[in-house]
């Protein structure tokens, strides 16, 4: 299986995440996307993060019926801080990925990437793909990578949380099943 991985907080998952993952999968010839929700993200601001079990459930709902998308809970099961290099190592051994696994990041993470745990090894052992989230033009990035020329979708989890908290609509930003889950458990209210 030729697979690309997208990790993240997914707090909550939205169509921007799913679109970028599918765009990279098809543009670069991957069979599958492995979505990995972070347990305790190391490089995120101290924004309120709902329980990992809720984020995992929402992610599973969001991709149900999409045969090329898988959700893996390895970071949640591992507990503690989340490091991408450890996740890549686990994915390669568990899934028997053909060749280098793809590793998809948004261009909003490029600046901080050198501070990631074993960033050099991560860039060397993966097919690093940078998706456009904030800029029409590829940003400078000193690691070997490819740039996804995806459409920029101005959707963010923080905006969705703010909209839900303010009682505003998120339909067509978030899958309906995820909206129902958020409502059922009173998340982000």
Please state the domain extents for the chain: 3-153
What is the tens place of the pLDDT at every residue in 103-156?
999 999 999 999 999 999 999 999 999 999 887 777 789 999 999 999 999 899
Q: Which residues of 46-82 are buried (b: 16+ CB within 10 A; e: fewer)?
A: eeebbebebbbbbbbbbbeeeeebbbbbbbbeeeeeb
Other Cβ atoms within 10 Å of 39 Cβ, number: 20
The fold of the 3-153 domain, in CATH, is Rossmann fold (3.40.50)
Categorize the per-residue pLDDT at 40 as very low, low, confident or very high, splitting at 50, 70 and 90: confident
Other Cβ atoms within 10 Å of 141 Cβ, number: 18
Q: Which two tokens stand for residue 128?
A: 């690093």
Residues contacting residue 19 through CB under 8 Å, at least 6 positions apart: 150, 151, 153
What share of the chain in percent tops pLDDT 90? 85
Angle at 151 between CA 148 and CA 157, to 5 degrees: 95
CA 115 – CA 137 distance, rounded (Å): 23
Question: Rounded to whole angstroms, what are the CA distances from 180 to 150, 170, 176?
Answer: 28, 11, 6
pTM of the full structure: 0.94
DSSP 8-state secondary structure symbol assigned to residue 167:
T
- Max intra-chain CA distance, the chain: 46
What is the tens place of the pLDDT at every residue in 60-85?
999 999 999 999 999 999 999 889 99
Bridge-partner residues for 34, per DSSP?
5, 70
3 and 95 Cβ atoms separated by less than 8 Å: yes
């Amino acid at each position: 299986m030729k697979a690309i991985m997208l990790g993240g907080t997914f707090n909550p998952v939205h169509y921007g995440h799913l679109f970028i993952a599918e765009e990279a999968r098809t543009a670069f010839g991957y069979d599958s996307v492995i979505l990995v929700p972070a347990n305790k993200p190391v490089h995120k601001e101290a924004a309120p993060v709902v329980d990992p079990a809720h984020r995992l459930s929402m992610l599973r709902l969001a991709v149900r019926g999409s045969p090329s998308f898988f959700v893996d809970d390895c970071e949640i099961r591992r507990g503690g801080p989340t490091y991408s290099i450890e996740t890549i190592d686990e994915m390669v051994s568990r899934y028997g990925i053909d060749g280098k696994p793809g590793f998809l990041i948004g261009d909003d993470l490029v600046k901080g990437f050198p501070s990631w745990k074993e960033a050099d090894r991560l860039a060397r052992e993966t097919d690093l793909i940078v998706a456009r989230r904030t800029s029409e033009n590829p940003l400078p990035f000193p690691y070997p990578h490819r740039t996804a020329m995806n459409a920029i979708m101005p959707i963010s989890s923080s905006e969705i949380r703010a909209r839900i908290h303010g009682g505003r609509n998120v339909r067509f930003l978030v899958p309906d099943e995820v909206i129902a889950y958020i409502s059922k458990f009173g998340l982000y209210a």
